[in-house]
Amino acid sequence: MMASIKLEGLEKTYPGGVQAVKGVDLEVADGEFVVLVGPSGCGKSTLLRMVAGLETISAGALYIGKRRVNELEPAQRDIAMVFQNYALYPHMTVFDNLAYGLKNRGFKRDEIRRRVEEAARMLEIEAFLPRKPRQLSGGQRQRVAMGRALVREPAVFLFDEPLSNLDAKLRVQMRVEIKRLQRRLKTTSLYVTHDQLEAMTLGDRLVVLNGGRIEQVGTPMEIYARPASLFVATFIGSPAMNLLPLGALLSGPGAASHGALLGDLPPGTGILGIRPDALRLEAPHGPHLTLSATLELFEAAGAESHLHVRLAGSGQPLVIRTAGQPAVAEGQRLHFHITRDALHPFHRETGRRLDDTLKTKEQAA
Amino acid sequence: MVEHRPLSQLAAHLILIAGVALVLFPVYIAIVASTQAPGEFLRGTLPLVPGGHALENYRAMWESGLSRAGAPPVGQMLFNSLVMALAITVGKLVISLLSAFAIVYFRFPFRLFFFWLIFVTLMLPVEVRIIPTFQVVADLGMLNSFAGLSIPLIASATATFLFRQFFMTVPEELLEAARVDGAGPLRFFKDILLPLSVTNIAALFVILFIYGWNQYLWPLLITTDSDYYTVVMGIQRMTTAADGDPQWHLVMAAVVMAALPPVLVILFMQRLFVKGLTETEK
C-alpha cells in the first residue's frame, strides 16, 4: 500500500501569533523521495510534523492517498516517523521497540515476529534484538529507529533530520543505506534536513524552504543548475555560490571587454551568481570573461582546492574551487575565466532569478 | 582524587565507626533490654549485656500484648500498621502518578491553578488540619476503620511534585513516537511512563511507607477500638500503664518488632535503587 501526499495551502500559526509555515503547496508522488531542506527556523520540521499529525494544521488541507487527514491522529494516518534523537523506548529491548507499534495495532504474535525479524535482517540488526537501546552505538540506534518505521509497512515514511546525531563518516554510510532502502521499498518518503549535501544526494526532488515558504521545488540538479533566488543559490552548493554585484564587473581592470559579454544580461540584473567551480584558471575556448584577483588564502582539501581571492579593483571576495593542487602562492595575482553561461543573473531588488534567455536558447538547441 | 594513605584511612574509619556507633547504640540498648527478666529494670541500672529471656518476652508480646495497659497483641498491631502503611503508600503513589500525568501531559482549563493548588497543600501537613480532618472523618463514620486511618493521609503534594518533575525530563519525542505507534494516553502511561518511573516509584515507596508506618498522632486520635491500634501508637499506650512502672522489657520487645518492617522494606527496595542507579540513562 503506497500513497501520494498532497499539501494544499498548509499554514501553521502558533498560539503566540508566530507563523511558522505560511501557505505551502506541494505534491509528492507515489513512491517519491522528497527532501525538505532549509536553514534552522525555516519551518521544515514543523511542516513534517504537521504531515505526521504531531502538530495541528492551522489552515489548508493535507491529503495522504485519497484521504483528507487534517484531523486524524498520527496512528491513523498510515505513516511512520524516524526522529532526530531516535526516541527509542529505553526500557524495552530492540525487539519490543520494533514490535510496539504492531502490538498496539493488534497484530498476531507470529506476524509481529515475522515482520520484526524481516526488518532486522534488512537493517542487519538481528544480533541486537534482545538488547536494550543503551547498549547500542549511535549508528545501531539509528538503525533500530529505522526498523521501527519499517516494520509497520506504512504508506509514508517521515524522516526528521535522522542523521544529524551521527558522526560524519557514519552519516555518509547511513545516507547511502537510507537511499538504497527507499529505492527497494519504493515507499513515499518525506525527509527533513538542514544539510544541503544530504538533501542533494538523497532526494528525487528537493523542496527548499525559507521563512515558512517554499523558495523552490525541483530535482537536485535543476536546483543546483538554476537556483530560483539568491537564497537558494547560496544555500545549495558547497562552497556557496559567489555573488558579485554587476557593478564590480563593469568597473576595474578589463571592464571594457566585459561590457560586450554582459550587455545581453536581462534587464534589472543587479547581482551575478558564479559557482566556485565555474571560475577556471585556464582560459576556455570561445567567449569568456577574465577576472584578475589576488590570492588571499589557499585551502588544500585533497582532491580539490579552494582559493579565496579578492577581485582587483572592487576588492570583492570570491571562492574558487579547482581540481587537484594548482601551483599558486598566497599573495599572487591570478587570472580567472568564466564562460557566459556560467553566470546566474538575479534581480537587484527582489533577488529572484531573471529568466536567462541565452541559456534557455542553448538548452533548446 | 582519593589518596590511600594509611593514616588518613584510619582517621576516616574511626570517624565512620564513631558515627555508626552513635546511631546504633540506642538500637542495641533496645534489643538488650528486650531480653531481660521482668525485675531487671527495677534495680535502676541499665543492663548492657543481653539477658536470657528473649524468647518469652517476644512470645508474650506477640501473642497477648500488654492487656493491662490496654495494648492488644503486637502481632495484631503490626498487621494494622502494615495495612495502614501500605494503603497510604499505594494510595499516594497511584494518586500522585495520575495527577502528575494529568498535569504534565494534558492541556485543560486552569491547569496551572490546579498545579499550584496541589503545591500549596505541601504547606498543610496532617498536624495543621488535624481537627477539621477529624471532624470530617467522624461525620463520615470512619472512626475505628482502616479507611479512616489511611484515606485522609493519602493525598500527597510531595509525590505529585516529584513525579511531575520526573515526567518533565522524559523526552517529548517518546510521547510522539508512542502516538505514531498507535498508543493512546493511557497506554503510553502504562507501557512507557510507568516502566521509566520504576526507580522513582521504589524510592518514594520506601519514603512513603516509613511515613505511613510512623504515623502516630492521627491513629491515636481516631482509634478507640484496640482492634485498630497501630504499633507506633500502641507502644505509647504501653509506656503509660495506669498502675505501676512500665514493663520496659516487654515494651522494648514491641519496639524492636515495630522497627523491623521498615528495615525490611528498605533492604528489599535497596536492590531496585541500586539497579536503577547503575542502569540510569540520559
The ipTM value here is: 0.83
Q: Which of B173, B183, B195 sits opposite A87 (nearest CB)?
A: B173
Q: Is A134 on the interface with B (CB under 8 A)?
A: yes
Q: Is A85 on the interface with B (CB under 8 A)?
A: yes
A52 to chain B: nearest residue by CA? Answer: B180
Residue B219 pLDDT greater than 80, yes or no: yes
Torsion, Cα of A157, A160, A161, A166 (10° steps): -80
Question: Closest Cα partner for A30 from A54, A60, A73, A63?
Answer: A63
Q: Give the integer Cα–Cα distance in Å for A12 and A59.
A: 7
Contact flag B180-A105 (C-beta cutoff 8 Å): no
Residue B277 pLDDT greater than 70, yes or no: no
Q: Which of B183, B191, B196 sits opposite A90 (nearest CB)?
A: B196
For residues B145-172, give the mean pLDDT: 90
pLDDT single digits (tens) A292-342: 889 999 999 888 999 999 988 788 899 999 988 888 888 899 888 888 888
> What pLDDT score was predicted for residue B278?
58
Residue A252 pLDDT greater than 70, yes or no: no
Q: Is A148 on the interface with B (CB under 8 A)?
A: yes
Question: Closest Cα partner for A30 from A62, A66, A68?
Answer: A66
Contact flag B192-A52 (C-beta cutoff 8 Å): no
CB distance B207 to B116 below 8 Å: no
Cell numbers standing for residue A199:
538533501
Mean pLDDT, chain A, rounded, equals 89
State the sign of the Cα–Cα–Cα–Cα dihedral A269, A271, A276, A281: positive
> What pLDDT score was predicted for residue B5?
80
Q: Which of B181, B192, B195 sits opposite A75 (nearest CB)?
A: B181
Contact flag B180-A75 (C-beta cutoff 8 Å): yes
Most B-contacting residue of A48, A89, A115 (CB-CB within 10 A), to test interface: A89
Q: pLDDT confidence of A360, banded at 50, 70, 90?
A: very low
Q: pLDDT confidence of A364, banded at 50, 70, 90?
A: very low
For residues A120-132, give the mean pLDDT: 93
Locate all alpha helices (DSSP H) within chain A, ordered by sequence. Answer: 44-52, 94-104, 109-123, 138-151, 168-185, 196-202, 220-225, 230-235, 246-250, 255-262, 357-364
Residue B43 pLDDT greater than 80, yes or no: no
Question: Closest Cα partner for A287 from A263, A312, A266, A251?
Answer: A263
Cell numbers standing for residue B204:
518514594
Q: Is B190 on the interface with A (CB under 8 A)?
A: no
For residues B15-24, give the mean pLDDT: 95
CB distance B37 to B51 below 8 Å: yes
Contact flag B182-A81 (C-beta cutoff 8 Å): no
Per-residue DSSP letter, A89 = -
CB distance A105 to A151 below 8 Å: no
Length of chain B: 282
Q: Which residues contact B274 (CB under 8 A, 6 or more apart)?
A: none
Percent of chain A with pLDDT over 70: 94
For residues B254-261, give the mean pLDDT: 91
**Do the bridges between strand A156-160 and strand A79-82 make them parallel or antiparallel, or are there none, so unpaired?**
parallel
| Full strand arrangement of the beta sheet holding A5-13 | A19-28, A5-13, A59-64, A67-68
CB distance B195 to A94 below 8 Å: no
Q: Is A15 on the interface with B (CB under 8 A)?
A: no
Q: CA of A80: how far to CAs of A98, A166, B235, B242, in Å?
A: 12, 21, 62, 75
Q: Which chain B residues are Cβ-neighbours of A52 within 8 angstroms?
A: 176, 180
Q: Which chain B residues are Cβ-neighbours of A106 within 8 angstroms?
A: none
pTM: predicted TM-score of the whole model, two decimal places: 0.82
A96 to chain B: nearest residue by CA? Answer: B191
* Domains by residue range for chain A, with CATH: 5-233 (3.40.50.300), 239-364 (2.40.50.140)
Q: Give the integer Cα–Cα distance in Å for A353 and A86.
A: 39
Cell numbers standing for residue A344:
546566474
Look at phi and psi of residue A204 and say left if phi exceeds 0, alpha if psi is from -120 to 50, else beta: alpha
pLDDT single digits (tens) B234-255: 888 887 765 667 788 888 888 9
B187 to chain A: nearest residue by CA? Answer: A104
CB atoms within 10 A of CB B102: 16
pLDDT single digits (tens) A203-237: 999 999 999 999 999 999 999 999 999 999 999 98
Q: Could you say which residues from 248 to 267 on chain B have a Cβ atom under 8 Å away from some Cβ of chain A?
A: none
Q: Is B245 on the interface with A (CB under 8 A)?
A: no
Q: Is B173 on the interface with A (CB under 8 A)?
A: yes
Contact flag A100-B191 (C-beta cutoff 8 Å): yes
Percent of chain A with pLDDT over 90: 66
Q: Which of A83, A91, A134 sits opposite B177 (nearest CB)?
A: A83
* Domains by residue range for chain B, with CATH: 75-241+257-278 (1.10.3720.10)
Most A-contacting residue of B181, B187, B188, B190 (CB-CB within 10 A), to test interface: B181
Q: Which of B176, B179, B192 sits opposite A89 (nearest CB)?
A: B192
Residue with cell 508566530: A18
Q: Give the integer Cα–Cα distance in Å for B119 and B69.
A: 42
- Chain A closest CA to B200's CA: distance in Å? 14
Q: Give the integer Cα–Cα distance in Å for A271 and B42.
A: 107
> What pLDDT score was predicted for residue A200?
93
- Chain A closest CA to B186's CA: distance in Å? 12
CB pairs under 8 A between A and B: 60
Q: CA of B168: how far to CAs of A2, B111, B118, B164, B205, in Å?
A: 37, 15, 17, 6, 20
